[in-house]
Amino acid sequence: MSEARASVLQAAAVSLRFGGLAAVHGVSFDVVQGEIFGLIGPNGAGKTTMMNIISGIYRPDSGTLLFNGESIAGLAPHRVAQRGIARTFQVMRPFEGMTVRENVAIGARFGRADGPKSMAAAMVKADQALETMELSGVATSSVSDLTTGQRKKLELARALAMDPKLLLLDEVMAGLNPREIGEVMELVRRVNGMGVTVLLIEHLMKAVMGLCSRILVLHHGASIALGTPDEVTRDESVIRAYLGDRYAAQHAQVEEALR
């Protein structure tokens, strides 16, 4: 590449405390235009909290958060959304009592300030997102009739209908069977191919390694490693965070012996 691509999202020294607990502590990273950026770490590392800060659900105590160069720290969630950041939830949260198409149309109607001005127009836009996510067949179904895999795709379709510049995915693969995981990975690539930058939280290493160009590892709210999938998985502190000190020591001995 001749020149570095622009940063879409820049976090610098972002911190948030819940009482005595430093949920996120001095976390800094850049997400570059067009990439799929991974956010991993053991349970309780602060991944979802970080995502909640980005999407405006929490206001950070300190630090800066820039989206396309403009600060979004502490902005109300709907304003963050309308700037072009869409997200999915770890626990799927479709609007019960609405059809699949209506669910997606809400994203289309309200996701962007310059989007469709009527629900009817939003429905048309929703159909495009449903087609991309291969959900056209269940457009008129009630969300309660969907399988887990279809619900995950619905979350993606709702976010996609918002025409996002940045898509935040919170464990979209969790609870899926291997075939569905393959499908959803393909859909994430497809959305990324449409020019949408992706930031994803994922426990499933196969998905993280297969999708992400760079990965940030969080542990106890602090970042401990940042790099390509290969760099991160060889990092001592990452191995220690995931597998404990004793394993890390053994691992180091083995590496030493092999050298």
Residue ranges in contact with other proteins by CB under 8 A? 55-57, 76-78, 80-82, 86-87, 89, 93-99, 102, 105-107, 109-112, 117-119, 137-138, 140-142, 144-148, 158, 162, 175
**Spatial CA neighbour of 47 closest among 26, 12, 23, 65:** 23
| Shortest separation between residue 111's beta carbon and other proteins, angstroms | 4
Q: Closer CB to other proteins, residue 79 or residue 206? A: 79
How far is residue 148's CA from residue 136's CA, in Å, rounded to a whole number? 16
Q: Closer CB to other proteins, residue 81 or residue 238? A: 81
Q: Closer CB to other proteins, residue 82 or residue 128? A: 82
Q: Closer CB to other proteins, residue 85 or residue 208? A: 85
Q: Which two tokens stand for residue 33?
A: 């235009």
**Spatial CA neighbour of 183 closest among 133, 148, 233:** 133
How far is residue 206's CA from residue 185's CA, in Å, rounded to a whole number? 10
What secondary structure does DSSP assign to 199-238, as a single string?
EEE-S-HHHHHHH-SEEEEEETTEEEEEE-HHHHHT-HHH
| Shortest separation between residue 194's beta carbon and other proteins, angstroms | 19
| Shortest separation between residue 185's beta carbon and other proteins, angstroms | 19
| Shortest separation between residue 159's beta carbon and other proteins, angstroms | 8
How far is residue 123's CA from residue 178's CA, in Å, rounded to a whole number? 32
| Shortest separation between residue 241's beta carbon and other proteins, angstroms | 29
